[in-house]
Amino acid sequence: MPEILSKYIECYVYRFENGVIKYLILKRSNEKEPYPGIWQIVTGRMEKDEEAFKTALREVKEETGLDMINCFVHPKINEFYTPHNDKIYLIPVFAAEVSDKRVIMSDEHVEFEWLNFEDAFKKIHWYSQKENLMILNDILCGKIENTMIQIANNR
């Protein structure tokens, strides 16, 4: 029977530019395993005894150098299965609003882009991340009810 674990987070970083929502997409270094060279959102591993939302706050700062204005719990978690070790991972998902567009990347990434929804959707590698981006975009555009829980407000 597969083991169920929760030790990673995902966070969608976004900002508003002239009324348009821009999403931060990062390209992993070709030297960084696993998944070298893919385009993704901010992801990270929880440290020992670290709460998931604190991991999200830390990882956004570490991977982008950006300070959040707001941080929310996304209404859906992500999940994936790894057959090589027979594990199922449940991943809390967050959304972080920032105002600054100047990204200071960590060594995990080699490129970044601020993209509108359509372009970000095309560029993100994992379908589950595309799906959660679609949900977030629908919430931010008012197409569906905002059920996100705010966990940080630095306005």
Supply the CATH number for residue 145's domain: 3.90.79.10
What is the dihedral angle through the alpha carbons of 29, 32, 33, 36, rounded to the nearest 10 degrees? 10
Report the pLDDT value the prediction gives residue 152, as an integer from 0 to 100: 80
Question: What average pLDDT does range 68-78 have in this prediction?
Answer: 96
Helices (H), 7-51: none
Other CB atoms within 10 Å distance of the CB of residue 115: 18
Report the pLDDT value the prediction gives residue 102, as an integer from 0 to 100: 96
Question: What average pLDDT does range 48-75 have in this prediction?
Answer: 96
CA distances to 40, 43, 89 from 83, rounded to whole Å, are 22, 21, 11
Average pLDDT, the chain: 94
Angle at 116 between CA 115 and CA 119, to 5 degrees: 75
Q: Which domain holds residue 36?
A: 3-153
Please, what sign has the CA dihedral across residues 150, 58, 106, 9?
negative
Tens of pLDDT, residue by residue over 117-144, are 999 999 999 999 999 999 999 999 999 9
User: Does the pLDDT of residue 155 top 80, yes or no?
Assistant: no
Number of domains present in the structure of the chain = 1
Tens of pLDDT, residue by residue over 19-53, are 999 999 999 988 777 788 899 999 999 999 999 99
